[in-house]
């Protein structure tokens, strides 16, 4: 992963340095000496509990201390307060954007009690996001509300284009887009909680599913989410549900205002089917694997890529373990799912030409439906059969190869196919937006250079072979 990609996918913990700390009564002369000895350009001022209450930088030394005050002046008289800081888990892209927006040279990293645990310095931090990406970081850091989040989502197209042009692989770019989207989800939860009339009656975990759960979102995805609620006595069911019904409605509405359209299939927390206690989720998964109805197969295709993004992660881990046990006991479910997924054939004709999925005179190919999804679903099926917890396609391929389920060469070919299909889809979406069209999944294969068409054709052939092999492995068919 390139340094520029790391600016968006990493946290501030990876970029911070140890911060020198002194008390408010420390004389400025001692503070200047401490800065020189530590070869640092700033010092944090802390109170008796160790919490940050101010900051003194080399610019303060030049403007407020040198020839201005006596050597025994306490730091409290010259420090800048209050301290603007971020938490160690804050995405690095937000921290860089905040420094850029506030024109900060130093940004303290503080724990929950506001005790300093690190410091970000502008020069070193900007180095991971040099060039034009700095402007994009500032554009991405819109106002901290749903309307600002929608602007952030719009700015993602510019970010994606810049990263692609910088040589970042498209598979990494959609990972960056996904991480920013998950950050927006978390902030929408926080705002919905702040707007609620009371704290939640039980703990809960927000799950994202589908492409969000895999970390493979393209531009402008819709919502696929649900809640795992904490257990409650039966007699409190009505009271707990009475709190979560308006909360879930508000959360989904906030996400919609932030640019995540409502799921047409209703896979959202406001739908009771996707808002349950852990025991109810387990029962639901068991029921799906037992009945193997068309609805169960459809829901499984979406839900089994679930990933926790807010709240305690333990319920999601326990649900993942339960799913592995349920599928091991009922392998017929995966066989039925393989047969269902096989209906989505790759976008090649019998003679090797590209499939025509466009209505009217056009001849564009739906590379999501007839390229990406056959690969994603086939990899998912094998990962579920093996009880693999990883949800991303590339992560699943790596784990399957490490376990010997697929060969190293097969993993390499499928990794390459994934990257080629993702790049064609993402570039087509960017071209659609540039032309004033809605970003879609129909790719103009005729407009591709000959080498790109050949590479795409080979990628789809590799997916078709893998899809047939997976179906045979799971169903016993040829």
Residue 207 lies in a domain: yes
pLDDT at 102: 75
Helix (H) or strand (E) holding 307: strand 307-310
Closest CA to 133 of 102, 167, 163: 163
Q: Which residues contact 120 (CB under 8 A, 6 or more apart)?
A: 12, 15, 16, 17, 86, 95, 99, 106, 107, 108, 109
- Residue 140 Cα distances to 8, 98, 102, angstroms: 11, 10, 14
Do 158 and 71 lie in one domain? The reply is no
Q: Is 59 in the same domain as 88?
A: yes
Residues 262 and 400 in one domain: no
84 and 33 part of one domain: yes
**Predicted pLDDT at 140:** 55
Chain centre distance of CA 406: 27
> Do 120 and 154 fall within a single domain?
no
The candidate with the shortest Cα–Cα distance to 458, out of 422, 423, 425, 420, is 420
Number of domains in the chain: 3
Residues 157 and 247 in one domain: yes
CATH code of 456's domain:
1.20.120
Percent with pLDDT over 70 in the chain: 89
Same domain (yes/no): 175, 107: no
CA distances from 278 to 326, 329, 387, 388, 403 (A): 15, 20, 19, 20, 30
DSSP 242-271: HHHHHHHHHHHHHHHHTT-BPPTT--STTS
pLDDT beneath 50, residues of the chain:
1-3, 126-134, 478
Boundary-marking domain end, from 104, 127, 150: 127
- Asked whether 120 and 13 are in contact (CB, 8 A), the reply is no
pLDDT of residue 221: 85
C-alpha 279/C-alpha 276 separation (Å) is: 8
In a domain, 304, yes or no: no
For 253-296, what is each residue's pLDDT tens digit? Answer: 999 988 889 999 999 999 999 999 999 999 999 999 998 899 99
Q: Which domain holds residue 269?
A: 142-290
Structural domain includes residue 342: yes
Last residue of a domain, one of 236, 267, 290: 290
User: Cα–Cα–Cα angle for 51, 55, 56, nearest 5°?
Assistant: 145
CATH number at residue 103: 3.10.580.10
Asked if 298 contacts 258 with a C-beta cutoff of 8 angstroms, the reply is no
What are the CA-CA distances from residue 330 to residues 53, 290, 296, 339, 341 (Å)? 59, 7, 14, 15, 18
Instruction: Give pLDDT tens digits for 358-393.
Output: 887 778 899 999 999 999 999 999 999 999 999 999
Residue 317 is assigned to a structural domain of this protein: no
């Amino acid at each position: 992963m390139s340094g520029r990609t790391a600016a968006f996918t990493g946290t501030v913990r990876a970029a911070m340095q140890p911060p020198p700390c002194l008390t408010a009564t420390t004389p400025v002369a001692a503070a200047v000496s401490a800065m020189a000895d530590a070869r640092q350009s700033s010092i944090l001022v802390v109170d008796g509990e160790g919490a940050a209450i101010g900051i003194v930088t080399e610019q303060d030394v030049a403007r407020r201390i040198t020839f201005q005050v006596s050597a025994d002046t306490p730091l409290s008289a010259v420090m800048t307060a209050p301290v603007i800081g971020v938490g160690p888990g804050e995405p690095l892209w937000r921290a860089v954007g905040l420094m850029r927006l506030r024109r900060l040279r130093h940004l303290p990293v503080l724990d929950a009690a506001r005790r300093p645990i690190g410091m970000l310095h502008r020069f070193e931090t900007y180095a991971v996001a040099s060039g034009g990406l700095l402007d994009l970081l500032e554009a991405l850091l819109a106002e901290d509300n749903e309307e600002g989040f929608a602007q952030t989502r719009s700015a993602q197209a510019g970010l994606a284009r810049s990263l692609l042009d910088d040589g970042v692989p498209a598979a990494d770019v959609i990972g960056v887009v996904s991480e920013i989207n998950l950050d927006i989800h978390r902030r929408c939860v926080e705002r919905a909680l702040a707007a609620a009339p009371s704290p939640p009656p039980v703990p809960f975990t927000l799950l994202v599913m589908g492409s969000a759960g895999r970390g493979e979102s393209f531009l402008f995805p819709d919502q696929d989410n649900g809640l795992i609620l904490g257990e409650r006595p039966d007699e409190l069911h009505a009271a707990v549900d009475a709190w979560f019904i308006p909360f879930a409605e508000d959360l989904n509405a906030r996400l919609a205002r932030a640019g995540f359209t409502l799921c047409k299939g209703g896979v959202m927390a406001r739908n009771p089917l996707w808002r349950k206690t852990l025991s109810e989720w387990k029962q639901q998964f068991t029921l799906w694997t037992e009945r193997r109805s068309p609805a169960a197969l459809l829901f499984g295709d979406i839900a089994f890529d679930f990933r926790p993004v807010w709240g305690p992660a333990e319920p999601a881990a326990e649900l993942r373990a339960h799913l592995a046990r349920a599928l091991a006991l009922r392998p017929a479910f995966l066989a039925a799912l393989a047969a269902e997924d096989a209906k989505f054939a790759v976008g090649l004709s019998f003679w090797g030409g590209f499939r025509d999925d466009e209505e009217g005179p056009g001849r564009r190919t739906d590379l999501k439906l007839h390229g990406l999804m056959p690969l994603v679903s086939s990899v998912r099926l094998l990962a579920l059969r093996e009880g693999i917890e990883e949800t991303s396609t590339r992560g699943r391929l790596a784990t399957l190869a490490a376990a010997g389920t697929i060969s190293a060469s097969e993993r390499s070919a499928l990794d390459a196919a994934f990257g080629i299909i993702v790049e064609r889809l993402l570039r087509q979406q960017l071209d659609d937006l540039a032309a004033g069209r809605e970003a879609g999944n129909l790719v103009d294969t005729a407009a591709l250079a000959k080498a790109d068409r050949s590479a795409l054709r080979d990628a789809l052939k590799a997916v078709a072979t893998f899809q047939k092999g997976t179906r045979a492995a799971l169903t016993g068919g040829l």
